[in-house]
Structures are given as structure tokens and as C-alpha cells.
Structure 1
Amino acid sequence: MTDALSKKDRAEAWFAALRDRICAEFERLEDEAEHLPGEAGRFEYTAWDRDDPTGAPGGGGVRGAMTGRLFEKVGVNISRVEGEFPADFAAQIPGASEDPRFFATGISLVAHMTSPHVPAVHMNTRYLATTQDWFGGGADLNPPFPVAEDTASWLDALVGCCDRHDVADGKRYKEWCDEYFYIPHRQRARGVGGIFYDRLNSGDWEADFAFTQDVGETFLSAYPPIVRRNMHREWTEEERLAQLRYRGLYAEFNLVYDRGTTFGLKTGGNVDAILMSLPPLARWD
């Protein structure tokens, strides 16, 4: 049996190691984009701390951000926070109404690309503990101009990841992603989908953790090939404008509906890290 302390430390260490590998791969993609103007981007890292509302130290994280020639804006954040939920928010979190103390660690990334033909992407995985504990996360692809080959390879990879683990349900997690990333006031999906899962506690922590790790590995193997297939395609000014309008959907969802945004703001997280998901430019008209 894995004790509570080692669960927290092992999850945090995994998310940090995954961050390092993802950032290294994204910098390699920047180096390969020699056809685009400007210098290859590099990540800059900013550590942050939070004070819990109780006055006790509340943990913190590291915000990694890069502006480059291929990645117009990308953030890859890791965090480890703990403390007590505010009473009104505790009532919404499993196990927190009995005891408001919590622990959370995770990785979250969003990439907005310079080219309208390279899909934006989101991925996060997390471990959260109150009087209960669970994993959650997922990944979804957000192309302004969907390409059937890209969508198929992306979904096959993520559903295939689920199918490798008895604790996961690929069909349900794909449907959950479609439901979660739907924008009711626009009556449309934010992107072409992926997987989404939450409150995963099968009773076998090691199995749940192994699946969560595989989600990160699958992202790292599935997204860069999509970037490489599309990064050299030329685009028009009309396509760029369409991309900016499409980004408006992303901003609307993240500000109105996203649970991660709500969780970060309700728990006093770093605002710049929380809102790193917003695109650098967007358009409504």
C-alpha cells in the first residue's frame, strides 16, 4: 500500500519530469521552424508561492512560458498547493465538506500556434486529495481548420491509451471530453475532442497513477507529429483572421466554463499561471 505522503511526492515528481520533457520537445520544434521569421523561442520559468487563506504557507508552482516563431504562446505549468478550501467552495469538492483541508498537484499546458494550420492544444493531469483522493485530466485538440488525418491520429492515440488500462474507459472519456468542451451559448464544441476524466479512484492507486502517466506519455507522442505535418503549410491573411476568430471560442470557454480556471482562482493560485491558457490575440466580429 502506498502511503499518503509518498503518493503526493511521487505525483508531484512525475508532473515535474513530464514538464521538462514536453518543454524540451517544444523547443526542438521551435528549432525546426527555420522557415518562419524570428528567433527560436525558449521557455522562461517563473516560480510562485501562495498564502493559504488561513495564513499558513500554501505551496506554489512554476509557470513556464514561451513566445516563439512556431508557438505564438505556450504555457506549461506545474504546481503543488495545499491548505483549506473556502467554505462555499468546499461544498462543491468531494470529501471537503467534512474537512476543508486539501492537497493538489498537477501539470497544465496550452499552446496557441502562429500558423492557422497547426492546431492549438490543451493537456492537463492532476492529483487531488481531501478526505478522498483522485486523479483527473485529459487532452483536447483545437484546430481552426480541422484535418481528418490529424483528428483520427489524435483520437486513436488517446482512446488507445485508455484501452491499455483497465481503470480507464476510452469510449466514455471521449464522450466526456465532447460534453465538457461544449460551449452552450455558441451551441458548438470548442475543438475536435480528445479525452477527459475526473475523480478517478478505482481503489487501486497504482493503476490510476499508471494511467495518468500514460496520458502524459501519449500526449508527448501524439501532438508533435501533428505539428510537424502542418508547420510548413503556407497560410493567407483570411485564414489568419479565421484563426483569431476561432480563438475567441477558446477564450470564452476558459473564462466562463473551465473548472481548472475556477479551481485556481478559488484557491488563490497565481493569476498569470491560471490565465496562461488565454490566447495572445483573439478577435470577435
Structure 2
Amino acid sequence: MHLAGAECNVAIGLARLGHRAAWAGRVSDDELGEFVLRQLRAEGVDTDGATRDPDRPAGLMFLERRTADVTRVRYHRAGSAGSALSTDQLRGPLAAGARLLHLTGITPALSDSARAAVTWAAQAASRSGIHVSLDVNHRARLWSRDAARAALAPLAAHASLVIASADELDLVAEAGSDEDTAVAGLLRRGVETVLVKLGADGARAYTREGVRHAPAVAVTAVDTVGAGDAFTAGYLSGYLDGLDLADRLRRAVTVGAFAVACHGDWEGLPRRDELPMIDGRPAGSTLR
């Protein structure tokens, strides 16, 4: 049994890189809920914004590695504690102050109340001058592309940073938009940076100044689950450290490489002093 979840993975990644990170959400009031909070606290993530739900169970996800290259996923999330997230639960954590609010497209897929809570948080943070990061993170088993687009396209207007894989970009733009059209629309709407995750090909970053590509760091991949969240944590870490775009991207692909080179969603994420271990070193190196 492992803790997982896109927002948790990013929070742990940031904490391991030396940043203060807090997670706000709703968990079951039983051993599974305690397991979630205990794991987050053990990784240095603040859980004061978590709420225990006495009536709803923990959300579960089962991963089956069917072949070396194919993984099947089964969700048991309907009626979970997380699906009961509400706006009132986010008011206190957001009022406590933050430089950055990270959201994903998974939470608003869980319920109407969760969708309203995420929308409120993005609007409130944006009005307060807090940098809003939105990872599209579409999950086809949770909602359709049309339903996702209806919720996420308006949400993206409040984000400073939008992160998506190439096939997710039209979920924050008009249906059927190609990459250039979708990105141009986001930049016109006020998004400062659009990151396009390209897997083994690295990533592209679009700003009003143009586009920059960062190649992936070469490693032996053993588990790609959580790679996108690791990439996001690395990029946000670079943003919080004041790095320029090129160095933010380099940190992002480096942290992503750590994730795919180890088993687990977040277990292989690096500490700050470990970043040089694979950045610029050939695969198979031994540190002596």
C-alpha cells in the first residue's frame, strides 16, 4: 500500500527540495486517512489544512503492471472523502498565506463541490497575487473530455502557469485546437507560461517571448507513474528559487528523470543535494 495523488506527489517533491509545502484536502477518519496524513507529515508536508471525514471512505486506486510497458488502473473514488471537498475547507489554508497555489484537473473531476472549491481557490489566489499553477492531468476514467474542457478552460484563465501533455492542451482551449493555437489562446488570456510535457523527448515552455525546448535527462526508466508530477515539482522549485526559464526546465526534467528511474509515485524523488547525481552524468554512473 502506498500514498499517491498528483497534489501529494508535488507537495512531497517540493518538500524534499527544501521548500515549505502544505496540503489541503479531505481524508477518511480511519486508519487509511491516518496513513495518508502520516506519510505526508513524514515527508515534511504541512497537513494542518486537512479535514477528517467520519462518513466517507478513502479513495483507492489499484495499479496493475500488466506488462513491462502497460499498466492498468482501476479507481474506487465515488463517494470518497476527497470528493466531499468544499470551498469552506480551503478558506483557512489559503488565508494563511502562500507564494504559490498548485491545482490539478483531477480534483474538480471528483464532484460538483470539489469543482466549486478548486474554482474558488484559483480565483481567490489570483486576486491576492498568488502564483497559480494548473496541471491539466486529465483522467478519462473520471470524466469525459467535454466535461473536463467545460470546467478547466475557464479555470485556466486564473492560472499563471498551465502544465499539460500535448494531447491535453485542447482541454484548456477550444476543442480540436492544435498546440500552437491552444498555447496562443492561453497566453492571450493572461497565462504567463505554458509547459508541454513530452515524456522521453523532454518538454517545451511557451512564454510571450517565444518557446524553449529542454531535452529529457537520459536514465534507465523503470516506472513512469508520477513522472509528470515530479517534473512539475522540479519546475515549481526552480520558480520559487528565482531561476530563469532554462534552469527551471533543467531542474524539472532532472527531477522527472529521478522519478522514472525508481519505483513508486514519489519514493525516488531527490533531495536538493542529490540533483547533481544524474544531471550531466552518463547512465550507469557510480558515485565514489
Give the TM-score normalised by the residue count of structure 2: 0.28
Tell me which protein shows more strand as a share of its residues.
1
